Amino acid sequence: MKKRVLRFESLEDRQLLAVTAGLEAAAALPAPTQAAPPGYQVGDVYIASTMDADGDGFIGPSELSYMSYAWFSTKDTENWNPASDIDGDGFVGPGDHAHLSTYWFQTNEALPENTKSFAIYPSDLQNWALFGNQISKISARGGTLSIDARTGALEAVCDYDGFSENLRVTADFKATAASFKGGLELAVSDTGHRYYAELQSDRVYLYYVGNNEQMTLLDGALCSFSVNQTYTIWGQVSGGKVSFGVGDNTLLTYNDTRLSGGWVGFYASSGAVSFSNISVEANPAAASAPTNRVGDVIVHADIVRNGQPVANPVTTYEIYPSDTQYWYLFGDKISKVTARNGSLTIDGRSGALEAVCDYDAFPEDLRVSATFRSTDSTVSFQAGIELAVQDSGARYFAEFRNTAVTLYYVSEGESFTVLASANYSLAHNQSYTVWAQIVDGQVACGVGDAVQVAANDTRLTRGMVGFYGGAGNTVFSNIQITPDPSKVVVPDPTPTPTPVSNPEQVVWDYFVAKIGNLYGVAGLMGNLNAESGGFRANNLQNSYERSLGMSDDEYTAAVDNGSYTNFVHDSAGYGIAQWTFWSRKEALLNFARQQGKSIGDLYMQLDYLWYELSVKYSTLATRLKNAASIREASDVILLQFERPADQSEAAQIRRASYGQAIYNRHVA
């Protein structure tokens, strides 16, 4: 294997070769008499001229000396010097002396274009032949080949020694202008035929360039290149295949045997680009193009159709397969999903992302487990496992957050319905074994060996499985997909209200323990009695029983089992406090599900009511504890907490009387 890294350093022999702008070879130049013309550095584009006989970049006495030696010579005479035949008539004489006089004491930049040739001042590689209209826009300093093509296409081609059929070129690529087209050239022949991998801001095209610069589009791939960011790119001709890639990923591979050996080059037709750390490897050990590694994200896009670019290609993304099927990726920033060393990382900090696996023979009973970890402690995370994912997008979703585990049914319109939820603390930078499964119509998820939430739901049985990141940076590793798992004992997925034989006594005892002041307890309970019709925790506002066509028990059961999904926004009063406003009903529903309780459970409602009074309306709890009469406590709850439509004096007296009756029953 022969490999040379192209560092722009001077040669000991200081030889310069040059090629004219265009495609015609220049006449051989005399060897320079010094390390470099004055003012030139290693890596500069050096402008040579056939008039500059001694190669010092300047027309002066040396050229006159050369001309004097060759005076009156022709091609057949011994003292002939083609560099002194300035007018090209095959004879060194007065005409040539006149031209020399015209450009006396001029530098090469000012000499006639047809006498000029261009080269990059020598390095430890072969000479670069330069082509284009504004050669001065190419430079090679500090190990970096820069091509500024904003005023026209430019090309630098190297006649690399020993170019064989199997050859690989690698370079660090950077675009320094927002709109650009540039890249690698492979197998460049004397005729100009070549393979060309052209990079643009969001894609790569592979061309075959033939006669008269006719470009045939072979293939294309989507790949984003940000301005002023460095990417390691490579191109390779090997075994009748032309390949191009970025980093360790192969983006394009095309079977084509028209070219094998030749030169290598770098090209830009617009924008400004640079190439550094250039490496040319002949006869590489790996003759075939590198393959994608297990876990790589690969992009599929139909961006070339019938030999023409497709303006708006349809793009799909996959994680290269492991011992499961492909992972298909969805979201706005697919590059934020990676799969390396057995770990699937989803960075959802800039938008939700999803990786779905079309697992073969997905059975009804299936379990997915993984080691889960959140790696960014500065933000809350939201991530989880998806089960029974349909082509329509419908699915079950087991979501893990910092403080809770929630099980959702997601409809094809991306409407989320909570099936069950439980409080559970998950710390940052700590690993947990999380799982989700479908067994006999029950959907469940948990952490470790414990079941956190479960629900009976038979809308979905079969489908795909997936992982989701909606916020934070999360990692899933040790992923296992197990068909027909052993059944996990799960709690009753549909809670029912706890039976209560004497609800008034339960409420009295509860608030006596919380408030202590019997006037405050009685004033509060008089209002609750008026709202709920006797402390009925499952009480649905009477007018909505008619409009919804459901009794108290039917409404409660439908909310608990998920068949009724408009509890939050239906504006129906419910429960012992007749919660009506949507934000309070939503908080009540979440509170119930976090505890795994029925929405109509009296004990749950008492806990939530005390939470409201002591936290959200903390001044009310203080006033109940300090109330000097039942009427005072009753008015506080009526006017500042319940706030019914009727807040008249008569209503105040009536509610206080309910509290007095309750007081009399329990205190007497």
Structure tokens, 471: 């916020």
Between 6 and 303, name the one with better pLDDT: 303
Q: What is the pLDDT of residue 295?
A: 53
* 164: number of Cβ within 10 Å: 15
Q: What is the pLDDT of residue 22?
A: 25
Q: Which helix (H) or strand (E) holds 560?
A: helix 552-561
Q: Could you tell me the pLDDT band of residue 8, with boundaries at 50, 70 and 90?
A: very low
How far CA 593 is from CA of 438, 550, 590, 614, 658, in Å, comes to: 20, 22, 5, 21, 32
How far CA 330 is from CA of 317, 393, 468, 476, 480, in Å, comes to: 7, 11, 9, 17, 21
Q: What is the pLDDT of residue 273?
A: 95
Is the per-residue pLDDT at 468 higher than 70? yes
Mean pLDDT for the stretch of residues 273-293:
66
Mean pLDDT for the stretch of residues 426-435:
89
CB 444 within 8 A of CB 453: yes
Is the per-residue pLDDT at 327 higher than 70? no
Q: Could you tell me the pLDDT band of residue 175, with boundaries at 50, 70 and 90?
A: very high
Between 632 and 340, name the one with better pLDDT: 632
Mean pLDDT for the stretch of residues 571-594:
90
* 96: number of Cβ within 10 Å: 20
Torsion angle defined by CA atoms of residues 175, 177, 182 and 184, in that order, rounded to the nearest 10 degrees: -20
Beta strand segments in 176-271, E: 181-188, 194-199, 203-209, 215-222, 231-238, 241-246, 249-255, 263-270
Mean pLDDT for the stretch of residues 308-320:
68
Tell me the pairing of strands 382-389 and 395-401.
Answer: antiparallel
- Top mean-pLDDT range of 17-26, 362-371, 487-496, 563-572: 563-572
Mean pLDDT for the stretch of residues 240-253:
87
CB 395 within 8 A of CB 388: yes
Q: Could you tell me the pLDDT band of residue 522, with boundaries at 50, 70 and 90?
A: very high
Between 322 and 2, name the one with better pLDDT: 322
DSSP annotation of 350: G
- Go through 521-549 and write b for each residue having 16 or more CB atoms within 10 A of its CB, e for each that does not: bbbbbbbbbbbbeebbbbbbbeebbeebe
CB 166 within 8 A of CB 283: yes
* 124: number of Cβ within 10 Å: 13
Q: What is the pLDDT of residue 262?
A: 80
Mean pLDDT for the stretch of residues 115-136:
64
Record the pTM: 0.43
Number of H helices, E strands in the chain: 11, 35
Mean pLDDT for the stretch of residues 494-519:
90
Mean pLDDT for the stretch of residues 508-516:
93
Q: Which helix (H) or strand (E) holds 46?
A: strand 45-49
Q: State residue 447 phi and psi, 5-degree precision.
A: -125, 130
Is the per-residue pLDDT at 461 higher than 50? yes
Q: Could you tell me the pLDDT band of residue 108, with boundaries at 50, 70 and 90?
A: confident
CB 256 within 8 A of CB 298: no
Is the per-residue pLDDT at 573 higher than 80? yes
Structure tokens, 59: 């027309």
Is the per-residue pLDDT at 1 higher than 80? no
Q: State residue 627 phi and psi, 5-degree precision.
A: -65, 140
Is the per-residue pLDDT at 2 higher than 80? no
Structure tokens, 149: 């093509």
Mean pLDDT for the stretch of residues 95-107:
89
Q: Which of 169-173, 369-373, 561-565 is predicted least confidently?
A: 561-565
Between 230 and 168, name the one with better pLDDT: 230
pLDDT digits (tens, 9 = 90+) for 23-39: 222 233 333 333 445 55
User: If DSSP codes are grouped into helix, strand and coil, which group holds residue 521?
Assistant: helix
Between 117 and 666, name the one with better pLDDT: 666
Structure tokens, 220: 């294309």
Mean pLDDT for the stretch of residues 455-474:
87
Residues of the chain by 3-state class (helix, strand, coil), percent to 5: 25, 35, 40
**43 strand-pairing partners:** none
Q: How far out from the chain centre does Cα 90 lie?
A: 66
Q: What is the pLDDT of residue 160?
A: 52
SS3 track for 493-520: CCCCCCCCCCHHHHHHHHHHHHHCCHHH
Q: How far apart are CA 225 and CA 220, in angstroms?
A: 15
Is the per-residue pLDDT at 335 higher than 70? no
Q: What is the pLDDT of residue 660?
A: 93
Largest CA distance in the chain: 142
* 260: number of Cβ within 10 Å: 18
**482 strand-pairing partners:** 367
Structure tokens, 438: 């479908």
Q: What is the pLDDT of residue 290?
A: 42
Mean pLDDT for the stretch of residues 1-26:
26
Is the per-residue pLDDT at 429 higher than 70? yes
Q: Which helix (H) or strand (E) holds 385?
A: strand 382-389
Mean pLDDT for the stretch of residues 108-115:
77
